[in-house]
A and B are shown apart, each in its own frame.
Chain A
Amino acid sequence: MSKKNNILKHERESLARKSVTRVITYSFLTLWGIIVLFPFYWMLLTSLKGYGAYNAEYIPQMFTLAPTLENYILAFTSVPLADYFLNTLIFTVLTTAIMLIITVLAAFGFARLDFKGKNLAFTLLLALMMIPSELVIITNFVTITTMNLRNTFMGLILPSVASVFYIYLLKENFAQVPDELYYAAKADGTSDMKYLLKVMVPICRPTLVTITILKVIECWNSYVWPRLITDEEAYFLVSNGIQAIRESGFGRENIPAMMAAAFAISVPLIVLFLVFRNKIMEGVARGGTKG
């Protein structure tokens, strides 16, 4: 009897210890969750506060009872935020589209075709993966400037359309497609280009989608190159726009309006992330290097 009691007592203790651990674990995870989410909450909250109300606060208020959209109206009327959006959209779509064409062609060449010097070319490509963009940006700046492409979409787009890593990623995927398909297609008289578009691309669509999404995120957030190559507001992307708003802004320091602009430019990617959550996380795990 006493032995049974002992076991029960032991079990109860270990159960108690387990639930204490669980409470600590969840509290810790929730705390980090709050640290991650709080800036977003603060951004949204501040953007909904009136200019007067915000500046009259003696203690920062954690919520607002009088939300207003005036900051969003101001952000889209008194600074050319809509233009920044349009520029970023054009830049993102064009860069991603050209990148995809170049990447698909090169990956196909490496994965499927046989020709002299292929292995050497591929080794060179892999070597390029180690080159940080900071090292080549100086000459690219000079090149684009001497080509008179400053403040043009061409100048913005050209240096970032060839991505070594995505070529590598897609080549690995293309190489997994069974050779028999290719020979069967060849026997039917299908051209290489047709085979690539009708067979390879559909089979490898998941990888192509991943590459596209990663490139879109990269384009939407790119800051350094656009900053170097554009100084006319008409060609600013959202990152440069938000920096311009911060530094010269709304004529006076209008933090709620700044937050409205910041929130507006963050929304598209947050939506993209929530829709393609698994694709993005899987893609980044395979090939992202931020951080």
Chain B
Amino acid sequence: MDHKNAKGWLYLLPAFLFLGVFMVYPLVDVVIYSFEESFNFASQTYVGTGWYNYSYVLHDPYFLQALKNTFLLVIITVPVSTGLALLISVALNSIRPLRNLYQTVYFLPYVTNTLAVGLVFMILFKPTAYTDGMVNLLIRLFGGESVDFIDGPYWAKMFVLCFYTVWVVMPFKVLILTAALASVRKDFYDAARIDGTPKFRVFTKITLPMISPSLFYLIVTGFIGAFKAYSDAVALFGTDLNAAGMNTIVGYVYDMLYGNSGGYPSYASAAAILLFAIILTITCLNLIIRKRHVHYG
């Protein structure tokens, strides 16, 4: 029996060794860091313990800017991308020819490098020496004014960031929703057709309730993903996000840790725990709402 136990654990050993060192220990450690005041990276010493790191972070204008940017990004991109994905999936589900082609094309952004494609977005939106860039050409075509989307006003930069984020998260959402729509039982639709139910009513009374678990899954993961946004912003505005005024919470954590403004793991830890608390709160709220509205059949 002892031999059997030892053998079982031996199989788990590599996984638990790595998880222990790189996940469980850091989890405890990050909480400790966040309470150690004036931690010195080189000598690994600290002065006292308390809430000072949290208070510092919450009063840091860069963090508040990052907080504002992240919340705006979440509030805009989660509903827009989920709604758009629903629209696209319903459209995809209603056609036969070319459906596979469209699905393949739509999924492409999932496998591409965020940094590389972000660079293209920057170039599309950025004015160059002689031109105002591709997007501004389109804007002027429709009679608008040129805008500098990359170094210009805040709303323009926010727009590009949201646009790119939606573009990046779309493949996953469309994939999940088309799968959910395809699995709605045909006999429900047949019954509705025999009864002569109007299409919109079929959608709200049959389709939406049937796909609500997937929809909710997407909203929850969408919130979490958007709160952790970072590399999209780097791809568009460069690594110095504070200077561009476009930092995100995760970006703030990394900047505190490393780079020109780095070397403060305590502040980084406090900010990371604040982010985790925000995500946890939002996820719990989502789950409470889900209990009331999602149909499991």
Residues of B within 8 A of A137 (CB): 26, 253, 257, 272
Given the complex, which residues of B lie within 8 Å of A55, measured CB to CB? 128-130
Q: In residues 148-173 of chain B, which contact A (Cβ within 8 Å)? A: 167-173
Task: Decide if A291 touches B15 in the complex (CB within 8 Å).
Answer: no
Q: How far is the CB of A33 from chain B (nearest CB, A)?
A: 5
Cα A28 to Cα B221 in complex, Å, equals: 26
Instruction: Name 23 A/B residue pairs within 8 A (Cβ), A-sorted.
Output: A29-B91, A32-B88, A32-B106, A42-B120, A46-B120, A46-B123, A57-B130, A103-B15, A105-B12, A114-B8, A115-B6, A117-B5, A121-B12, A134-B250, A138-B33, A138-B272, A158-B22, A162-B15, A228-B258, A243-B239, A274-B104, A289-B225, A290-B169
Interface size on A, residues (CB 8 A): 92
Give the contact stretch, choosing among A1-9, A64-72, A175-183, A215-223. Answer: A215-223
Check if B116 sits within 8 Å of A266, measured CB to CB: yes
What residues of chain B lie closer than 8 Å to A136, measured between beta carbons? 22-23, 26-27, 30
Decide yes or no whether A208 CB sits under 8 A from chain B. Answer: no
Given A105-B14, A285-B176, check contact A138 B130 (CB 8 Å).
no
Minimal Cβ-Cβ distance residue in B for A262: B116
CB of B285 within 8 Å of the partner chain:
no
Instruction: Tell me, in angstroms, the Cα distance from A217 to B230 when the chains sit together.
Output: 18
Of B23, B117, B269, most A-chain CB atoms within 10 Å: B23
> Is A206 located at the chain interface by the 8 A CB criterion?
no
CB-defined contacts of B113 to chain A, threshold 8 Å: 220-221, 238-239, 242, 262, 265-266, 269
Q: Is A48 interfacial (CB 8 A cutoff)?
A: no
How far apart sit A43 and B235, CA to CA, in the bound complex (Å)?
A: 14
Is the pair B250, A42 in contact by a Cβ cutoff of 8 Å? Answer: no
Residues of chain B from 1 to 37 with CB closer than 8 A to chain A in the complex: 4-12, 14-16, 18-19, 21-27, 29-30, 33
A91 on interface, CB distance cutoff 8 Å: no
A273 touching B108 by the CB < 8 A rule? yes
Is A74 on the interface with B (CB-CB < 8 A)? no
Over the window 270-296 of chain B, the binary record of Cβ atoms lying under 8 Å from chain A Cβ atoms (1 yes, 0 no) is: 001101100100000000000000000
Judge if A156 is at the interface, Cβ distance under 8 Å.
no
How many angstroms between the C-alpha atoms of A28 and B106 in the bound complex? Answer: 13
Q: Which residues of B contact A19 (CB under 8 A)?
A: none
Is B191 an interface residue, CB under 8 A from the partner? no
Q: Is B112 an interface residue (CB 8 A)?
A: yes
Residue pair A162, B23 in contact (C-beta under 8 Å)? yes
CA distance in complex: A223, B224 (Å): 19
Q: Residues of A contacting B9 with CB < 8 Å?
A: 109, 115, 117
The majority secondary structure among interface residues of chain B is helix
Give the residues in chain B near A114, CB-CB below 8 Å. 4, 8
Q: Taking the nearest CB of chain B, how far is it from the CB of A253, in angstroms?
A: 9
Contact B22–A25 (Cβ < 8 Å) = no
Q: Is B38 an interface residue (CB 8 A)?
A: no
CB distance from B100 to the nearest CB of A (A): 9
In the complex, what distance in Å separates the CA atom of A109 from the CA atom of B231?
37
**Chain A residues within 8 Å of B134, by CB:** 42, 60
- Is A40 close to B, CB under 8 A? yes
Does A211 sit within 8 A of B, measured CB to CB?
Answer: no
CA distance A262 to B275 in the complex (A): 32
A115 adjacent to B8 (CB under 8 Å): yes
Q: Is the CB of B276 within 8 A of A102?
A: no
Total A-B pairs in contact (CB under 8 Å)?
270
In the complex the two chains form, is B130's CB within 8 Å of A281's CB? no
Question: What residues of A have a CB within 8 angstroms of the CB of B272 in the complex?
Answer: 134-135, 137-138
Q: Are A224 and B254 in contact (CB under 8 A)?
A: yes
Measured between beta carbons, the chain A residues less than 8 angstroms from B170 are 36, 291
Contact of B123 among A42, A103, A265 (CB under 8 A): A42
Q: Is A284 an interface residue (CB 8 A)?
A: yes
Cβ distance B84 to chain A, nearest Cβ, rounded Å = 8
Known pairs A138-B257, A258-B119. 14 more at Cβ < 8 A? Answer: A32-B88, A32-B106, A39-B124, A43-B116, A46-B123, A57-B130, A115-B7, A161-B18, A223-B234, A242-B113, A270-B108, A284-B172, A288-B172, A291-B173
Question: A167, B27: Cβ atoms under 8 Å?
Answer: no
Chain A contacts of B14 at CB under 8 A? Answer: 101-102, 105-106, 162
Which residue in A57, A221, A265, A288 is a CB contact (below 8 Å) of B131? Answer: A57
Question: Does chain B have a CB within 8 A of A235?
Answer: no
> Does A140 contact B26, Cβ atoms closer than 8 Å?
yes
- A161 contacts which chain B residues (CB < 8 A)? 18
Given A40-B108, A280-B111: A58 and B22 interface contact (C-beta under 8 Å): no
Selected contact of B225 from candidates A39, A110, A259, A291, CB within 8 Å: A291
Question: Which of these, A26, A102, A239, A284, contacts B95 with CB under 8 Å?
Answer: A26
User: Of the candidates B8, B104, B105, B228, which one forms a contact with A118 in the assembled complex, judged by CB atoms under 8 Å apart?
Assistant: B8
